[in-house]
Structure 1
Amino acid sequence: MSDALVILGAAGIVIPVFARFRITPVIGFILVGLLVGPYGLGRMVYNHEWLTWVTITDPERLAPFAEFGIVLLLFTIGLELSFNRLWTMRKLVFGLGALELLVISTLLGASLSMLGQYWTGALGLGLALALSSTALVLPIAGTHTPVGRAALSMLLFEDIAIVPIIFILGALAPYADAEGLDGLFDTLWLGAVVVIGMMVIGRFALPRLFAQAAQTKSPELFLAASLLVVIGASLATGVVGLSPIVGALVAGLLIAETEYHSEVEGIMEPFKGLALGIFLITVGMGIDLTMIWANLGTITAAVVGVLLLKAVVTGVLLRLMGARRSTATETGILMASPSETTLIVLAAATDALLIQPGTAQFWQIVTAIGLTITPLLAMLGRNLGRRVEPVPEIEEPESGEPPVIIVGCGRVGRLVAQMLTRHGKPYIAVDSDADMIETCKREGYRAVFGNAARMDALDKLGVDRAPAVILTMDEPVLAQRITRKLRAAYPHLPIIARARDSLHAAELYRAGASTAVPETLESSLQLSEAVLVDLGVPMGPVIASIHEKRDEYRERIREGGALEHKPKLRTSTAESAAVQAG
């Protein structure tokens, strides 16, 4: 019970506090583990018994839950992928991934061998330290960005390679014989049979299983079915000697091919977050600050050496495979720290008598430190990536015509910019998100960083001469505030604002907007129109009913916005066709 109290208390404190300061909770969970673990307050349990309620003195009790967190992470990664996408990544996974692991492990092993480590132990340490953290890297980088795709390909190969690595270390043990390699081959062919069987059975059984669960409309049953699939798949691969995370990944891929993948992903998210938090707490519990202080110079040199070698090799390999300098730099630094699976390989090398327990403990501390600073490495990589590949300067328009000011450089703002460009109208986009501005500039948009809520930022852009200001951000309160300020300062300035719905549009009109476009209203009407036409309802009645409904909303907006006339809303395709026909 005391362990549960500590874990739930940590989740309740770490996640909201660190989210408030926009810091990843990874660091928070690791610090909690450091504080409540056997090398923190756990040291004082025997002198102060009340500390047993706020400490965890036996990390082994949390190991199954920590492993479950990694299993759920790979399961959700599988949900985001598909067999088609995985097939398109095969060259990266088995090309870049294999090359990265082989080169880094060889260089690390050779370096340790030159420092006096026997070659078998150096090989084991090289393979262990060459691995990178799936549990930390993918939540930071995602799987859809260039950095995330590159990291995913390497991490997938590393996860697949875990089992062969462990068997190879067992075969290198002083007491080993040919049974080690025989066991490897047995595991590989049995694992292949299990995975193929899961894929065949899963394609037929999973849609029916989740259809039955969905028909009951019971979230509990749907959750039970999801847990049954992921745990069953993990156990199936674990029984034949493969890593449980392989089964979890395959289960995720299979569910991703069904229509229920979004529901499964949403219902599993809280469990994944909590279980990963437990894993991170166990990482923090393995950090002994007294030992770090006693061996500060050696440990610092080891951490820096491993991070530097891995970052350089990964970055160079990515550049050789055609990645941009910014992507190669950021990915290399992000992938530099060791992995949670490094601890598994170190344990296997110790059991095989390839390295001494003291050596394993030293590198376990190096690994824990590397995991702890991974979020900091992510920030460093992002900043260096921007420096090695500066954002291109956008040429000023040749015409002396003042530009339209677009507030917000998201998908709506960029679409508006494209339409203005197509019709030869100059514009300038402003956004307070530095990453968004950098992305827009790289894609060729004229964009500047600035806080449009401050009038001085808009004054610098020449709002007094602008033909119009377009508010495209999906922030209702901010849009009303900016509209009110602009209307007070510039009574005749056209202000076109994006509104969420008819109520928000009315509020924007009251604040002084010239035109407010309710996006959900028009999309809902067009959706209704398409459905009715596809169902065989004659076009005439459809157009009439859509027109009546739009007119109802126009009247609501007029009343809510205190307008003299009904606002003009965008006409639908069907209405335009009717007008032309008439």
Structure 2
Amino acid sequence: MAAEVQGADLAQIVVLLGAGVVAVPIFKRIGLGSVIGYLAAGVAIGPFGLGLFTDPQAILHVAELGVVMFLFVIGLEMRPSRLWGLRREIFGLGLAQVVACGTLLTLIGIAVGLPPAAAFVAGMGFVLTSTATVMQLLEERGDTASPSGQRIVSILLLEDLAIVPLLAIVVLIGPATSSDAHQPFWLSALIALGCVAALVAAGRWLLNPMFRILAGANAREVMTGAALLVVLGSALAMQFGGLSMAMGAFLAGVMLSESSFRHQLEADIEPFRGILLGLFFLGVGMSLDLGVLVSDWHHILAAVVGYMVVKAIGIFGIARLFRANRKEALSRAALMAQGGEFAFVLYAAATSAGIIDGRTNAILTATVIISMALTPLTVMALKLLPEPKPNVDDLDVADGLEARVLMIGFGRFGQITAQFLLSEGIDVTAIDSDADMVRSAARFGFKVYYGDGTRLDVLRAAGIEHADLVVVCTDKREATDLIVELIRSEFPLSKLYVRSYDRQHTLKLRQQGVDFEIRETYESAFTFGMKSLEGLGYDESHIADVAETIREREAARLAIQMSGGKISYTDIQGKLKPEPLVEPKRRAKALNEAAEKATAEAAE
């Protein structure tokens, strides 16, 4: 009998892992992201799909540890000084967003006929954004450590903190029969503060000495166990104090953020975090009651649209009030216009307190789940909106200019190139389509004109017909290709030097007949490699020989690819002059010339 139970448990584990392994790559391949993949897999195998699982709450309870570990890893990146630097965003921006959105959503609930207490609970539950969903999307976009990403993290932290007073308010506004059974609010607050103080003290005086002792034991598995002990122990302490488990893990991460064991801890936690976070989204998908969705679809649809739109408007307004630009405000609204996992906790407490009934709880829960599933789609839809036109009223636009060199693109690459030209007194007309870049260059004494190099009228106005040399230094491959095609079509006699993105881009530019191209990291990587050998004690002559060989091989590869395989490396070597060319760049130039000649002969 025991073997049968164990077999059933193992089968469920296999089904869970299999659903995630199959669904996530498919949804990522079609561009919908991993979150929707997990949610769809959860719906498919859950009690309202194939019925392979009957208790999604049990899975959610375990999988919440994924969110806990995610917040621990985020905490490891947040040193106390950095966290203190975000205090304005946490308690200013975060509090403002929670209050503003909570007020708007509560008014929406009252307007549709909910009692004030129920409208408050429904609205405030939806205010609590899904930390797991937002952090997963930020991580996939690589925005977690960016300034805008850090502001979103700050708001999420405040929302995690907000669940504590909200649960207390639910007890206070519920019927008297339910509040009598709970301990006084002042006692709950005192216990919570005591747990936080104990966790901070343990992090300051106990954790580092403990990890030093364990590291001395030279047992990797013990360090992994200790990392899990810290995460789960801090989460348990916060749960005992009535606080968020995720908040406890975050505090533990912050306490260890300046430890010399930080990177080891992050590496130990990462595998568990990823798997459990995936299970969390699977559990959320299983919790979607398709029966309620069918019977009350009109109420759910109205709630999803109304709550998401109103919350997005509130987030956008607060973001602009705190001086975020339009693009950041729209991005934040798209990411955070959803409910979150803490809404389930708040709605369950409100149901127990008699503030909302079971049917309302089911509708609100379905609303939150659907909003979480829609968030990746709203983020994708945001990319389809046209970029806002920059304010260029204070910028000079190229018009009737003449110079020996026309430079298109004035980023890091262009700025260094321009210094060589300007140092020799050569006239340079530089244009760039990034208004902020133009203003920044002006502060450092560079005169750059605002203009889009992919437009023929802008090129004419910038004096391309009078330029001895056109230098394309744009950093986006697509823009570079458009510029090169336009110039080669309209100004075929222009001498064209182009910044290349990678090897494939180099091949394409050579086929288009540019006069010179260079990969943006090619020479710097060469210098870096030579310096690395120098640092290891190799002599200069040997390093020069190695560099020469690598340049020869690279030139040969490009020539072979250009010919479509019609010539070989031996063919190219045979075109070289017999006299030795020791200097690497001279030999590479000769090899390039030989490669071009061999390519031309192969084409004939």
Q: How would you bin the TM-score normalised by the shorter chain? A: 0.7 to 0.9
1:69 counterpart residue number: 66
Distance 1:172 1:269 in 2: 41
Please point out which of 136, 140, 146 is paired with 1:139.
136
The verdict on how the C-alpha distance between 1:455 and 1:354 changes in structure 2, with shifts beyond 3 A counting, is: closer
Q: Is the 8 A contact 1:33 1:281 kept in 2?
A: yes
Q: Is the 8 A contact 2:170 2:349 kept in 1?
A: yes
Please point out which of 409, 412, 417 is paired with 1:415.
412
2:266 counterpart residue number: 265
**Aligned-partner SS, 2:269:** helix
CA drift of 1:123 comes to 2.3
1:522 counterpart residue number: 527
Residues 32-431 of structure 1 mapped to structure 2, 5 A cutoff:
32-42=41-51, 55-141=52-138, 142-174=143-175, 175=177, 176-177=179-180, 179-202=183-206, 204-205=208-209, 208=212, 211-212=215-216, 215-216=218-219, 218=220, 220-384=221-385, 387-388=387-388, 390=390, 395-396=397-398, 398-401=401-404, 403=406, 414-422=411-419, 423-424=421-422, 425=428
Distance 1:551 1:352 in 2: 78
Aligned CA-pair RMSD: 3.4
AA partner of residue 375 (structure 1)? P
AA partner of residue 343 (structure 1)? F
The verdict on how the C-alpha distance between 1:267 and 1:438 changes in structure 2, with shifts beyond 3 A counting, is: farther
Q: Is the 8 A contact 1:77 1:252 kept in 2?
A: yes
**Aligned-partner SS, 1:256:** coil
The verdict on how the C-alpha distance between 1:399 and 1:263 changes in structure 2, with shifts beyond 3 A counting, is: farther
2:540 counterpart residue number: 547
CA drift of 1:417 comes to 1.6
Distance 1:117 1:269 in 2: 43
Residues 502-521 of structure 1 mapped to structure 2, 5 A cutoff:
517=523, 519=525, 521=526
AA partner of residue 33 (structure 2)? T
**Aligned-partner SS, 2:232:** helix
Distance 2:549 2:328 in 1: 50
CA drift of 1:479 comes to 4.7
Distance 1:191 1:225 in 2: 20
CA drift of 1:374 comes to 0.8
Distance 1:246 1:394 in 2: 50
Mapped pair 1:4 → 2:18: no
**Aligned-partner SS, 2:71:** helix
Q: Is the 8 A contact 2:544 2:584 kept in 1?
A: no
AA partner of residue 469 (structure 1)? V
Distance 2:300 2:440 in 1: 43
CA drift of 1:196 comes to 2.3
**Aligned-partner SS, 1:469:** strand
CA drift of 1:74 comes to 0.8
CA drift of 1:405 comes to 7.0
> For structure 1, which segment, 455-464 or 335-344, has the greater mean C-alpha deviation from structure 2 after superposition?
455-464
2:497 counterpart residue number: 468
**1:239-284: CA deviation from partner (whole Å, max 9, x where unpaired):** 2322211121012222321233334334433322221111111121
**Aligned-partner SS, 2:192:** helix
The verdict on how the C-alpha distance between 1:289 and 1:189 changes in structure 2, with shifts beyond 3 A counting, is: closer
> For structure 1, which segment, 325-334 or 447-456, has the greater mean C-alpha deviation from structure 2 after superposition?
447-456
AA partner of residue 354 (structure 2)? L
**Aligned-partner SS, 2:74:** helix
**Aligned-partner SS, 1:121:** helix
Q: Is the 8 A contact 1:138 1:148 kept in 2?
A: no
CA drift of 1:341 comes to 1.0
**Structure 1 portions without partners, runs of 5+:** 43-54, 407-412, 431-436, 500-515, 533-541, 571-582
> For structure 1, which segment, 202-211 or 306-315, has the greater mean C-alpha deviation from structure 2 after superposition?
202-211
Distance 1:350 1:295 in 2: 19
The verdict on how the C-alpha distance between 1:93 and 1:321 changes in structure 2, with shifts beyond 3 A counting, is: same
> For structure 1, which segment, 130-139 or 390-399, has the greater mean C-alpha deviation from structure 2 after superposition?
390-399
Distance 1:428 1:404 in 2: 6
Distance 1:129 1:456 in 2: 45
Q: Is the 8 A contact 1:391 1:442 kept in 2?
A: no
AA partner of residue 194 (structure 1)? A
Distance 2:147 2:383 in 1: 12
**1:535-579: CA deviation from partner (whole Å, max 9, x where unpaired):** xxxxxxx7xx55244323234235535577345579xxxxxxxxx
The verdict on how the C-alpha distance between 1:202 and 1:162 changes in structure 2, with shifts beyond 3 A counting, is: farther
The verdict on how the C-alpha distance between 1:559 and 1:355 changes in structure 2, with shifts beyond 3 A counting, is: closer
Q: Is the 8 A contact 1:34 1:285 kept in 2?
A: yes
Q: If the length of structure 2 is used for normalisation, what is the TM-score?
A: 0.75
Q: Is the 8 A contact 1:441 1:447 kept in 2?
A: no
Q: Is the 8 A contact 1:109 1:123 kept in 2?
A: yes
Residues 558-569 of structure 1 mapped to structure 2, 5 A cutoff:
560=553, 561=555, 565-566=581-582, 568=584
CA drift of 1:372 comes to 0.6
Q: Is the 8 A contact 1:168 1:180 kept in 2?
A: no
CA drift of 1:194 comes to 1.9
AA partner of residue 344 (structure 2)? L
**Structure 2 portions without partners, runs of 5+:** 1-9, 423-427, 442-449, 455-475, 556-572, 587-604
Identity of aligned residues (%): 28
Distance 2:233 2:213 in 1: 14
AA partner of residue 551 (structure 1)? A
Q: If the length of structure 1 is used for normalisation, what is the TM-score?
A: 0.77
**1:382-402: CA deviation from partner (whole Å, max 9, x where unpaired):** 445x54455869944833545
AA partner of residue 523 (structure 1)? F
Distance 2:440 2:65 in 1: 41
AA partner of residue 189 (structure 1)? L
CA drift of 1:526 comes to 4.0
AA partner of residue 280 (structure 2)? F
Q: Is the 8 A contact 2:204 2:255 kept in 1?
A: no
